[in-house]
Amino acid sequence: MTIFFINAPIQALRRALPLIKEKKFKDLTIITTKDLVPFFKKYTDAKIIVPKLNRNLIDKHTKYKVITNAIKSKFEYRKLFKDVENEDIYLFFTFWAIVHFSYIKKLSKKNKVYLYPEDKTIYSFKENKTLTAKAMKLTARMLLGIKIKVVNCQSMPICELDRTAFPMEVVHYNKFEVELPGDYEKLLKGKDVFFAGSADMSLETKNINKFIKMTDDVADILENKFKDRYVVKGHPRDDTIYGKLNNSKHKIDRYILAEMLMEHPWKYVIGYYSELLTSAKLRTDAKVISLIYLWEWKDLEYQKYWIDRFKKEGVLMPKTKTELKKVLV
């Protein structure tokens, strides 16, 4: 048996799926999130498991249940992996999922672990050296037995796997051989514009009503300039589409991963901010546009992080609606 640990679309497409095609695993189990289950069921024959325990140990709803969740993780591990020995374990991420890191550490004692990390240019967060970070490291070590680093993301401390935490073989691998699904070729015929919705944008904006108004203005531009030649797609993890775009007749099922649709000859790919935009710039001939300057951010440091990345990749960032209209010639 081979076990994959995957928690984001980018990992599935840039690493996992090409690897599955290349190696043709006979007995594959994928540990993943519920939003990726439909994708893996459609494109693989693997057994899919979604652990019940929060993979980050705590969130805003369970921040007072650290010890309880740590105890629950022991039981979940035994239920899922108690008898796993002499197998290959593939890890496709190094951020966030601290509980899964603890599972893999235990698995590493009797199994071979391969780490397929993302390129460093994708995640380049600054180390956090505050008392909160020290507390997070201590909690991880004392309750889960795992070594972590702590970095800042959206001004929030998050865990990063310390690569000395357990034995692993690091494999640098980046193949993208995913074809546009046949059932989407007909759907996308004649479409020129792809609009990428995002996860919960209320986390990023100072005023959600102004943000929705901005999105409505963009919707009007798309409708006036492109009529039936644009599509809208929500994020796999959160299908929130803002304002008028939520009622668009051009919405695409959120469960299809957006990067797969980049095989279509788009003229424009538009979004708020996301990895998709940098990927679209690299993989398509489209004008790739971020709306990053068109709303008030809560976290200016995080906004700057994305602006710097988009500048480096050549993503267009109009500063006004008038500029946006000029870009969409």
Tell me: do 164 and 198 sit in the same domain.
Answer: no
User: How many CB atoms sit inside 10 A of residue 228's CB?
Assistant: 11
Which of residues 269 and 142 earns the better pLDDT score? 269
Looking at 136, 170, 204, which one is the last position of a domain? Answer: 170
Tell me: do 299 and 214 sit in the same domain.
Answer: yes
pLDDT of residue 229: 94
Q: pLDDT tens, 157-168?
A: 778 888 899 999
Instruction: Return the exposure string of 97-132: e unless at least 16 CB atoms fall within 10 Å of the residue's CB, then b.
Output: bbbbbbbbbbbbeebebbbbbbeeeeeebeebeeee
Tell me: do 166 and 208 sit in the same domain.
Answer: no
Tell me: do 57 and 140 sit in the same domain.
Answer: yes
Q: Per the domain annotation, does 51 fall within a domain?
A: yes
Is 212's pLDDT higher than 60? yes
Tell me: do 163 and 268 sit in the same domain.
Answer: no
Q: Per the domain annotation, does 175 fall within a domain?
A: no
Q: What is the mean pLDDT of residues 155-179?
A: 81
CATH number at residue 192: 3.40.50.2000
Q: Per the domain annotation, does 224 fall within a domain?
A: yes
Give the whole-number percent of the chain exceeding pLDDT 70.
92
Is 122's pLDDT higher than 60? no
Q: Per the domain annotation, does 320 fall within a domain?
A: yes
pLDDT of residue 226: 93
Is 176's pLDDT higher than 80? no
Tell me: do 39 and 166 sit in the same domain.
Answer: yes
pLDDT of residue 63: 63
Q: What is the count of structural domains for the chain? A: 2
* Closest to 28 measured CA to CA, from 13, 43, 38, 14: 43
Q: Per the domain annotation, does 143 fall within a domain?
A: yes
| pLDDT band at residue 62 under the 50/70/90 scheme | low
Asked if 7 and 97 count as a contact pair (C-beta separation under 8 A), the reply is yes
pLDDT of residue 222: 93
Tell me: do 194 and 301 sit in the same domain.
Answer: yes
Amino acid letter, 310: F
Tell me: do 116 and 155 sit in the same domain.
Answer: yes
Q: Per the domain annotation, does 176 fall within a domain?
A: no
Whole domain around residue 134: which residue ranges? 2-170
- Distance CA(149)–CA(137), nearest Å, equals 7
Q: What is the mean pLDDT of residues 91-103?
A: 90
Looking at 170, 196, 220, which one is the last position of a domain? Answer: 170
Task: Give burial (CB, 10 Å; 0-12/13-18/19+) of 278.
Answer: buried
Tell me: do 160 and 283 sit in the same domain.
Answer: no
User: How many CB atoms sit inside 10 A of residue 239's CB?
Assistant: 16
Which of residues 106 and 15 earns the better pLDDT score? 106
Q: What is the mean pLDDT of residues 291-297?
A: 95
The tokens for 229 are 């030649």
- Distance CA(166)–CA(107), nearest Å, equals 10
Q: What is the mean pLDDT of residues 122-129?
A: 70
Q: What is the mean pLDDT of residues 292-317?
A: 91
Looking at 118, 140, 170, which one is the last position of a domain? Answer: 170
Is 124's pLDDT higher than 70? no
Q: In the beta sheet, which residues pair with residue 161?
A: 148
Is 296's pLDDT higher than 90? yes
pLDDT of residue 70: 86
Q: pLDDT tens, 230-279?
A: 999 988 777 788 989 888 888 888 777 888 888 899 999 999 998 889 88
- Distance CA(325)–CA(329), nearest Å, equals 7
Q: What is the pTM of this model?
A: 0.78
**Average model confidence (pLDDT) across the chain:** 87
Tell me: do 231 and 300 sit in the same domain.
Answer: yes
- Print the SS3 string covering the chain: CEEEECCCHHHHHHHHHHHHHHHCCCCEEEECCHHHHHHHHHHCCCEEECCCCCCCCCCCCCCCCHHHHHHHHHHHHHHHHCCCCCCEEEECCCECCHHHHHHHHHHCCCCEEEECCCCCCCCCCCECCCHHHHHHHHHHHHHHCCCEEEEEECCEEEEEECCCCCCCEECCCCCCCCCCCHHHHHHHCCCCEEEECCCCHHHCECCHHHHHHHHHHHHHHHHHHHCCCEEEECCCCCCCCCHHHHHCCCEECCCCCHHHHHHCCCCEEEECCCHHHHHHHHHCCCEEEECCCCCCECCHHHHHHHHHHHHHHCCECCCCHHHHHHHCC
Which of residues 299 and 104 earns the better pLDDT score? 104
The tokens for 251 are 């919405």
| pLDDT band at residue 155 under the 50/70/90 scheme | low
Is 123's pLDDT higher than 60? no
pLDDT of residue 248: 85
Q: Per the domain annotation, does 177 fall within a domain?
A: no
- Distance CA(36)–CA(48), nearest Å, equals 10
Please name the residues in contact with 112: beta carbons below 8 A apart, sequence gap of 6 or more.
87, 88, 89, 169
Tell me: do 64 and 152 sit in the same domain.
Answer: yes
| pLDDT band at residue 107 under the 50/70/90 scheme | very high
pLDDT of residue 295: 94
Asked if 328 and 291 count as a contact pair (C-beta separation under 8 A), the reply is no
Pairing of β 230-233 and β 193-196:
parallel
pLDDT of residue 271: 94
Is 59's pLDDT higher than 70? no
Is 84's pLDDT higher than 90? yes
Is 299's pLDDT higher than 90? no
Q: What is the mean pLDDT of residues 135-151?
A: 85
